[in-house]
Amino acid sequence: MARVFMKGCEAIAEAAVRAGCRFFAGYPITPQNEIPEYFARRMPEVGGIFVQGESEVASINMVYGAGSTGTRSMTSSSSCGISLKSEGISYCASARIPMVFANISRGGPGVGSIHPAQQDYLQATKASGNGGFEMLVFAPSTVQEAIDMTYNAFEYAQRDRNPVLILCDGVIGTMMEPVKLPEMKTDEEVAAFKEGNKEWACIGHGKDVKRSWIEPGHWRGQEDANIEAAAMYETWDKDVQVEEYLVEDAQIVIAAYGISARVAKSAIDILRKEGIKVGLIRPITVHPFPYHSFEKLDYSRVKAILDVEMSIPAQLIYDVKLGVNNRCPIETCLRSGGQIMSRDAVLDAVRKLNEK
């Protein structure tokens, strides 16, 4: 397929449409505005529905309703907007409604800044809403990955009947790159997706339809529902994705995801030419986390881990610490509040660490 030049947010929206998404509800917030703008133009072309809700809260509950009918549905926002959606996301998890959402992250906490950041890691991986539910969370480092992850997210959501999150920092959301778009699902395939959900979906009161509403709280069996969900989460080990770059002989290993990992990777190529043996572990799924990549390192060779992220205080570091388990020191290279990680900052941090 021919390559096209697309902005990250618009590419995410197009990938969702091609995956069969036929309902989107959202509310404007920088830096993800191009997602709802793109859906507003694109959805009528494929017989789908776009709604700009009166708020983030209204939008996520519209997705909850549309997803309950078995329609592939999506929403998006940025950071503080995701916080407003968190109750509705929790409802979708409780009711086992498949839906996909994207967080094009900005600075924080609070309203923060409109610039890119990675300050939502703990929210995304540990507490996207009340009740302790879990989700598959994917973190792209290129626009192409954002497309592929969004496209596949609808399959994971339908497989598990569970929300799936694309955690995409504002750099990836707003930058433009040449990409290859996936195949468009046909109208017949889209109809088959919905037909496949008929067993549980809320689709009306026909004579052969027994199910006409979906219980969001499992009030008559909440513990059993939680046990069932926990068993599903345990199966996600097979879905863990990670990139290991030049770690085989590395004495310093950088841990980073998203745009920070991309910046770090370019620094590694320079540092290798200087004779510094440095590598990269990049979680692609940030939940579940690829702990095994850190557990299997040869700590007689690896002298330090450098956590590189656009968050102060560091957040990714908590999962890195669990994987390393006190077997070597962990240092940090951090930016925050919309200040983008620079290659020079990574180069300086590694060189100083190497001198130790």
Counting the structural domains of the chain, the total is 2
Q: Where are the alpha helices (DSSP H) in 19-55?
A: 34-42
Same domain for 191 and 253?
no
Residue 206 clears pLDDT 70, i.e. is over it:
no
Task: Name the pLDDT band for 215 (thresholds 50, 70, 90).
Answer: low
43: three-class secondary structure by DSSP: helix
Task: Name the pLDDT band for 204 (thresholds 50, 70, 90).
Answer: low
Same domain for 226 and 336?
no
Same domain for 92 and 225?
yes
Task: Name the pLDDT band for 20 (thresholds 50, 70, 90).
Answer: very high
Q: Which of 34-48, 131-145, 204-218, 293-307 has the lowest mean pLDDT?
A: 204-218
Calculate the alpha carbon distances from 216 to 94, 192, 270 in Å: 6, 25, 53
Q: Which of 8-12, 224-228, 324-328, 330-334 has the lowest mean pLDDT?
A: 224-228
Last residue of a domain, one of 200, 223, 238: 238
- Predicted TM-score (pTM) of the model is 0.95
Q: Please state, in angstroms and rounded to a whole number, the distance separating the CA atoms of residues 92 and 163.
A: 7
Task: Please report the pLDDT score of residue 208 as a whole number.
Answer: 61
Task: Please report the pLDDT score of residue 224 as a whole number.
Answer: 87
Kindly write down the DSSP assignment for every residue of 77-94, as one continuous string: E-THHHHHHHHHHHHHHH
User: 198 — phi, psi (to 5°)?
Assistant: -60, -30
320: three-class secondary structure by DSSP: helix
Task: Please report the pLDDT score of residue 1 as a whole number.
Answer: 64
Calculate the alpha carbon distances from 191 to 71, 165, 213, 300 in Å: 9, 24, 21, 56
Query: What is the CATH classification number for the domain harbouring 91?
Result: 3.40.50.970
Q: Which helix (H) or strand (E) holds 225?
A: helix 222-234
For 309-337, what is each residue's pLDDT tens digit?
A: 999 999 999 999 999 999 999 999 999 98
Task: Name the pLDDT band for 338 (thresholds 50, 70, 90).
Answer: confident
Query: Contact, 168 vs 102, CB < 8 A?
Result: yes
Percent of the chain with pLDDT over 70: 95
Last residue of a domain, one of 191, 206, 238: 238
Task: Please report the pLDDT score of residue 30 as a whole number.
Answer: 95
Same domain for 258 and 214?
no
Q: Is the dihedral of CA 23, 89, 144, 119 positive or negative?
A: positive
Residue 203 clears pLDDT 90, i.e. is over it:
no
Mean pLDDT of 61-70: 95
Same domain for 224 and 273?
no
- Outline where DSSP puts E strands in the chain: 3-7, 23-26, 49-52, 73-77, 99-105, 136-138, 163-169, 176-180, 242-245, 252-255, 278-283, 285-287, 304-309, 330-334
Q: Which helix (H) or strand (E) holds 8?
A: helix 8-18
Query: What is the CATH classification number for the domain harbouring 250?
Result: 3.40.50.920
Residue 68 clears pLDDT 90, i.e. is over it:
yes
Residue 287 clears pLDDT 90, i.e. is over it:
yes
Same domain for 60 and 199?
yes
Same domain for 341 and 227?
no
Query: Contact, 245 vs 282, CB < 8 A?
Result: yes
Residue 32 clears pLDDT 70, i.e. is over it:
yes
Give the angle subtended at the CA of 84 by the CAs of 217 and 47, to the nearest 5°: 80
Task: Please report the pLDDT score of residue 207 as a whole number.
Answer: 60
**What is the residue-averaged pLDDT of the chain?**
94
Task: Please report the pLDDT score of residue 356 as a whole number.
Answer: 84
Task: Please report the pLDDT score of residue 259 as a whole number.
Answer: 97
Same domain for 195 and 258?
no
For 149-200, what is each residue's pLDDT tens digit?
A: 999 999 999 999 999 999 999 999 999 999 999 999 999 999 999 999 988 8
- Locus of tokens 């509040």: 337
Percent of the chain with pLDDT over 90: 89
Last residue of a domain, one of 190, 221, 238: 238
Same domain for 35 and 171?
yes
Pairing outcome for strands 278-283 and 176-180: unpaired
Domain that holds residue 268: 243-355
